[in-house]
Amino acid sequence: MSLDLKQFQTTFFEESFEALDGMELALLELRPGEIDAECVNTIFRAAHSIKGGAGMFGFAEVTSFTHAAETYLDALRGGCLPVSQPGIDALLKSVDLLRSMLSSVQQGHAIDAQPATALQSELERLLHASDPQDGAGVESGRRAPAAAGLGCAAKPQPCGWRIEFKPHAALFQQGNDPVRLFGELQRLGALEPSVELGHLPTLATMNSELCYLAWDLKVHGESAQADVEEIFEWVADDCQVVIQALDPAGAAQSSQSAPLATAECAANSIASRQEISAPQARQGESGSIRVGIEKIDELINKVSELVITQSMLTELGGGGGGTGGNLLQTGLERLERNTRDLQESVMRMRMLPINVVFSRFPRMVHDLSRTLGKQVDLVLRGEQTELDKTVLEKIGDPLVHLLRNAIDHGIEAPETRRRLGKPEAGCLKLEAFHKSGSITIRLSDDGSGLDCKKILTKAKSAGLVGDEELSDEATCDLIFLPGLSTAEKTTDLSGRGVGMDVVRKNIRALGGSIEVSSEPGRGTTFSISLPLTLAIMDGQSVALGDESYIIPLVSIVESLQPKPELVETVAKRGEVFLFRGVYVPILHLDEVFATRSKARSPGEGLIVIVESEGRRFGILVDELLGQQQIVIKSLEQNYRKVEGISGATILSGGSVALILDIPELLRIAHERGAADRQCIG
């Protein structure tokens, strides 16, 4: 068995990106001139953790730059530097740079040293600029001298440290390597290593991936205890470390030689143990583990199979009578309940808090509002609301677009707001909550609102609507049509007439919907409704010949038996049906899928009216079979992509039913000439 260190690097990258997100959020909380020790500590810990991990994996550029940022943060933490806006900006830039550096390392690309050098110089300049004495003594490689140079009260340092380092057997398997730790120690001062070989087994019996060695190390020189501790912090979970101060003779201070110092040393040692053990305790308390998504999906698949098997058993066992039959029925009911509970629990494993997406917005709003010279307060609510991972990954971009639009076009400049009697700072509220079995994300601003008159004029001139009168609600909805923008000037951010149609399209692709409401001068609100998950859905099963198909319930407007007099045939355009005063095209599924249906004309079957992208059409089916929650299986992964089909599911009888892809069928209907836009409502 050979060990793949990549898995540990993957964890390091994941944790580092998370730490950077946390660092960024905390930086955005900082206010110039105010001291928020907890906030600064959070930022410092994030930088510190990245530095430790980067050092462990030998990412020297990342370690070096993080060290520079950490030096600045340490001065902030120690109260030697005031919190300043240039400092916050430089640290935010540091977060961006570290993200970029880590991405480069992750992808195996070389790191461009120039930006790091420039930003490192800026941090050092800021550090010196605040030095009331002479600015000297700030050494980028060391934290303690930096603090000393800034007039911080420095404790007298001992002349070195003795470190008892006893790795756990699994140290190597966790991706840790003492060579790197000792290399870091050597940078603090002359290193005197003494190895303990007593536990080394014979070559034939040893497991070469386990660690059997231990060390007694001495580091000479005036380094700070925190510097020694930080080197071992990354491996705290995988070793036992005791750090003691060395006396001038080079011996660890002991009760025989220095009784007074012993208490201090003992205290130091205890403090070391406690501080180094802290991450372990934190990890233990977090109550979560990292699991690969593919493992969860495999589990979901297995449970889905179980649900199907259980449904089959219920059908088979349903007809039995007598005592045995009753017992079987009771058992089957219990099995059904337990299986459903298990399925729900497993599905929840794919759920993540929406904060995964929301957390990037404070920085974005901060940067955009500065660029545009606006003041914007972002209020986040319901960050812990959970959504399926796939939905979360795909909802980010539409939300970014809506937020950018709101800041660029919705919220007015401070002077305009003052003139209008509004607070200078605009308010953007982004909230998530459960509603009717779905998740609603609502984005509201207190800006100028949509100009319905202008939207209607633009839409008419672009030929998107006729001369009919539209309600304000319907007019606002026009912003989701392709090619409509009311922005007077295009900016880098928005107003190019593309985007809102894509936003709606992306949200619909997730099985969701978006609505907009606006009040002139009071602001605009977008409400997005999303399914909790993409792995299961509510569907209507329909029969077509000998086959069953599933129509997503969310797409269905109505199902009906059409009166023959309401069906018309348009030359070369197929059949249309008068539905609520508007003609909608009828799609014959048997023609699309080259199958046989019993109903040859609308009068012989049923029409299911469906809606996609604001357009409606009817699907002719033989009969409706029933509604049920279905588990979606990928057809592409198991077979191949089939036009007009989005996936498949297994019905309780064990047969396979195909799930209709309504947007795709609309496109097919359109291509076949059945979807004459003049006829569509």
Partner 1 sequence: MPIPTKAASPNQAMTVITLMPEQTIRDIDTLHAELLAGLDAKAGVRLAAAELVQVDTATVQLLCAFMLESRQREVEVEWDTPSETLLLTARLLGVSEVLALERPSSVIGLAP
Q: Is 249 in the site for partner 1 (CB under 8 A)?
A: no
User: Which among 618, 630, 544, 626 is positioned nearest to 576, based on CA atoms?
Assistant: 618
Q: Is 169 in the site for partner 1 (CB under 8 A)?
A: no
Helix (H) or strand (E) holding 526: strand 523-531
Residue among 6 and 290 whose Cβ is closer to partner 1: 6
Q: Is 170 in the site for partner 1 (CB under 8 A)?
A: no
Q: C-beta of 177: minimal distance to partner 1 in Å?
A: 5
Residue among 173 and 329 whose Cβ is closer to partner 1: 173
Of 186-194, 477-485, 527-535, 656-664, the window that binds partner 1 (rule: CB under 8 A) is 186-194
User: Which among 248, 242, 247 is positioned nearest to 268, based on CA atoms?
Assistant: 242
Position 180: which residue type? R
DSSP SS3 for 288: coil
Rounded CA gap, 272 and 230, in Å? 10
Of 116-124, 205-213, 359-367, 404-412, the window that binds partner 1 (rule: CB under 8 A) is 205-213
Q: C-beta of 147: minimal distance to partner 1 in Å?
A: 17
Q: C-beta of 224: minimal distance to partner 1 in Å?
A: 12
Provide the token pair at 539: 């569907």
Q: Is 17 in the site for partner 1 (CB under 8 A)?
A: no
Q: C-beta of 135: minimal distance to partner 1 in Å?
A: 21
Q: C-beta of 139: minimal distance to partner 1 in Å?
A: 11
Task: State whether the Cα torsion 427-432-434-438 is positive or negative.
Answer: positive
Give me the residues paired with residue 161 across strands.
Answer: 219, 245
In terms of Cβ atoms closer than 10 Å to its own Cβ (0-12, 13-18, 19+), residue 360 is middle
User: Which among 597, 651, 650, 647 is positioned nearest to 619, based on CA atoms?
Assistant: 597
Q: Is 60 in the site for partner 1 (CB under 8 A)?
A: no
Q: Is 197 in the site for partner 1 (CB under 8 A)?
A: yes
Q: Is 8 in the site for partner 1 (CB under 8 A)?
A: no
Q: What is the DSSP letter of 243?
A: E
Q: Is 194 in the site for partner 1 (CB under 8 A)?
A: yes
DSSP states along 485-507: ---SS--SSS-SS-SHHHHHHHH
Q: C-beta of 16: minimal distance to partner 1 in Å?
A: 22
Of 198-206, 432-440, 520-528, 614-622, the window that binds partner 1 (rule: CB under 8 A) is 198-206
Provide the token pair at 11: 């964890």
Please state the separation of Cα 178 from the chain's center in Å. 34
Q: Is 55 in the site for partner 1 (CB under 8 A)?
A: no
Q: Is 53 in the site for partner 1 (CB under 8 A)?
A: no
Q: Which of 110, 153, 179, 594 binds partner 1 (CB under 8 A)?
A: 179
User: Which among 446, 448, 449 is positioned nearest to 378, based on CA atoms?
Assistant: 446
Q: Is 289 in the site for partner 1 (CB under 8 A)?
A: no
Of 175-183, 276-284, 287-295, 387-395, the window that binds partner 1 (rule: CB under 8 A) is 175-183
Cβ-contact 649, 655 below 8 angstroms = no
Q: Which of 33, 132, 156, 203 binds partner 1 (CB under 8 A)?
A: 203
Q: C-beta of 175: minimal distance to partner 1 in Å?
A: 9
Spatial neighbors of 369 by CB under 8 A, at least 6 apart, are: 375, 376, 407
Rounded CA gap, 204 and 226, in Å? 41
Q: Which of 79, 135, 221, 279 binds partner 1 (CB under 8 A)?
A: 221
Residue 586: what are its φ and ψ, rounded to 5°? -110, 130
Question: How many other C-beta atoms are found inside a 10 Å radius of the C-beta of residue 426?
Answer: 25
Q: C-beta of 208: minimal distance to partner 1 in Å?
A: 5
Torsion, Cα of 501, 505, 511, 513 (10° steps): 0
Q: What is the DSSP letter of 172?
A: G
Q: C-beta of 252: minimal distance to partner 1 in Å?
A: 16
Cβ-contact 548, 659 below 8 angstroms = no
Q: Which of 15, 29, 61, 177 binds partner 1 (CB under 8 A)?
A: 177
Q: Is 191 in the site for partner 1 (CB under 8 A)?
A: yes
Q: Is 625 in the site for partner 1 (CB under 8 A)?
A: no
Of 21-29, 180-188, 282-290, 634-642, the window that binds partner 1 (rule: CB under 8 A) is 180-188
Count of residues of this chain found to bind partner 1 when the rule CB under 8 A is applied: 37
Q: C-beta of 165: minimal distance to partner 1 in Å?
A: 11
Q: Is 137 in the site for partner 1 (CB under 8 A)?
A: no
Residue among 4 and 315 whose Cβ is closer to partner 1: 4
Residue among 3 and 35 whose Cβ is closer to partner 1: 3
Rounded CA gap, 32 and 86, in Å? 9
Which residue carries 């047969």 as its tokens?
Answer: 655
Q: Is 188 in the site for partner 1 (CB under 8 A)?
A: yes
Rounded CA gap, 96 and 118, in Å? 14
Q: C-beta of 246: minimal distance to partner 1 in Å?
A: 13
DSSP SS3 for 339: helix
**String of contacts with partner 1 for each residue 547-566, x by CB under 8 A:** --------------------
Rounded CA gap, 662 and 505, in Å? 13
Q: Is 213 in the site for partner 1 (CB under 8 A)?
A: yes
Q: Which of 193, 362, 545, 663 binds partner 1 (CB under 8 A)?
A: 193
DSSP states along 245-269: EBPTTSSBP-TTT-HHHHHHHHHHH
Q: C-beta of 187: minimal distance to partner 1 in Å?
A: 8
DSSP SS3 for 444: strand
Q: Is 12 in the site for partner 1 (CB under 8 A)?
A: no
Residue among 213 and 425 whose Cβ is closer to partner 1: 213
Q: Which of 85, 121, 186, 595 binds partner 1 (CB under 8 A)?
A: 186
Q: C-beta of 64: minimal distance to partner 1 in Å?
A: 18
Cβ-contact 510, 395 below 8 angstroms = yes
| Cross-sheet strand order for the sheet of 547-552 | 623-631, 536-544, 547-552, 656-660, 645-650
Of 28-36, 67-75, 211-219, 578-586, the window that binds partner 1 (rule: CB under 8 A) is 211-219
Q: Which residues bind partner 1 (CB under 8 A)?
A: 1-5, 172, 177-179, 182-183, 186, 188-195, 197, 200-204, 206, 208-209, 211-213, 215, 220-223
